[in-house]
Amino acid sequence: MLTSSEGKGASGSHRSAFASPEFRRYFPAAIFSTLGSWILRFLLGWSAWDLTQSATWVGIVAGLLLAPALVLSPLFGIVSDRINPRNGLLITLGLHAALAGMAGLAVVSGLFALPVLLALSVALGIASSAQTPVRLALIPSLVPRISLPSAIGYSAITFNTSRILGPALGASLIQWSSPAAAYFCAAGLMACGIPFLLGVSGRQPDAVSASRSGFFDQLRDGLRYTRTHLSIRLIFGFTLINALLGRTVMELLPALSGVLLRGDSSTLATLTAAAGAGSILGGVVVSRQGSEESRLVSLMLACLAAGAFLVTALGWTSQLISFACLIGLLSTATTIVGTSSQALAQLQVDDEYRGRVLSLWTMLAMGAPAVGALSLGMLADQFTFPRVLPAFSLLALIALAYLNRHRVRQP
């Protein structure tokens, strides 16, 4: 349980994930695939603007990349519980590389138009919604339990570093070469990850469990398991607070930059860089943790509370350097909470439900910031950011106190 280090939470000190040969074989695949994926996502967004000069179509493409995960993740979570996640990751990585290659060929042949872009965006969204559950289900099979937070932390570092480098590399390739070359580069990077992934054995599925019940019966079992598992419900609650506070603020950086700082594109670039640096630092912090749940919970709660105060401070800051420092600290706290909550969910869940539970965690972590950004943005237009940000922070602190009270009382 989340109240002590007993039972599942019992653990020793920190042990690096790189001490495990399986993780060492997997990590280069993660680097290549994540960097290639971020280049591809950037290129699709850039292509939407290049083809239409319309912010609406850019938003539609972004929505098509995200929406399938919100709908299909639970179904692919079931799949990841029925197969070896390594094999699922091989398939989805191959699909990502193929889609990038198809985009490059379409550009070269002169066939790259808006319908092709929309079709590629939908296909990539579906492939990504399949990849996330199998990747999350694979990681615990690569390391011993004590190294799980370290593995998740290093995965977060890879993700957030690629989120910064990918768009920069994609933009440079467009400027110095061509869009087709950029698409082919993304395809090549993702293809480079496949040989490393072939060296990973992964986890064999529980064939007996999978054969006992149908696909949708397993979906219901996963939902019932999550609903009746108090610790996992609490972890989901903390994840929701983080998504609606820190993650939401990160989604609204362009608006915050324009309204509170009266900034331009260089101002936004500075804030984005600060957020990126903070997220990398947050991943480093979690990568140094062991599997003692009480320590992870304390770290998560402290960062959630700190995040609420940082969000409040943003509303009353008008100097770029101070604002960038607050954003960097908030990004660090938000990343620590996100990776810690994922680690806690991984430590709590039974293997046979891992894919299904983590697919629900993914839906919550990805979908809530979209709702939060819409709500916070509308309220800020009506009441201004300096009033709305403290209100959001206060609500987050109240929810945090409520969940922590239930955590302390759980048996």
Percent of all residues in the chain with a pLDDT value above 70, rounded to a whole number: 92
- Average pLDDT estimate for 187-205: 89
Model confidence at 341: pLDDT above 90: yes
Q: Convert the pLDDT of each residue in 230-253 to its tens digit.
A: 899 999 999 999 999 998 888 788
Read off the tokens for 235.
């972890």
- Average pLDDT estimate for 101-128: 93
Q: Give 2's pLDDT tier (boundaries 50, 70, 90).
A: low
Q: Convert the pLDDT of each residue in 298-337 to its tens digit.
A: 999 999 999 999 999 999 988 999 999 999 999 999 999 9
Q: Are 157 and 284 in contact (CB under 8 A)?
A: yes
SS3 content of the chain, % helix, strand, coil (to 5): 85, 0, 15
- Domains of the chain by range and CATH? 17-205 (1.20.1250.20), 212-411 (1.20.1250.20)
E strand residue ranges, 162-320: none
- Average pLDDT estimate for 164-175: 85
- Average pLDDT estimate for 64-74: 81
For residues 341 and 350, what is the distance between their CA atoms, to the nearest angstrom?
16
Q: Between 394 and 10, whose confidence is greater?
A: 394
Q: Give 9's pLDDT tier (boundaries 50, 70, 90).
A: very low
Q: Distance between the two ends of the chain, CA-based, in angstroms?
A: 8
**Least confident interval from 3-12, 124-133, 324-333, 363-372:** 3-12
What number of CA atoms fall less than 13 Å from residue 44's CA on the CB side?
31
3-state secondary structure of 6: coil
For residues 169 and 79, what is the distance between their CA atoms, to the nearest angstrom?
34
Model confidence at 170: pLDDT above 50: yes
Q: Between 109 and 287, whose confidence is greater?
A: 109
Query: Tokens 């493409």 label which residue?
Result: 61
Q: Are 278 and 396 in contact (CB under 8 A)?
A: no
- The whole-chain average pLDDT of the chain stands at 86
Vertex 330 angle, CA 325 and 335, to 5°: 130
Model confidence at 12: pLDDT above 70: no
Q: Are 158 and 30 in contact (CB under 8 A)?
A: yes
Q: Provide φ and ψ at 252, rounded to 5°.
A: -100, 20
Residue 208 confidence (pLDDT):
42
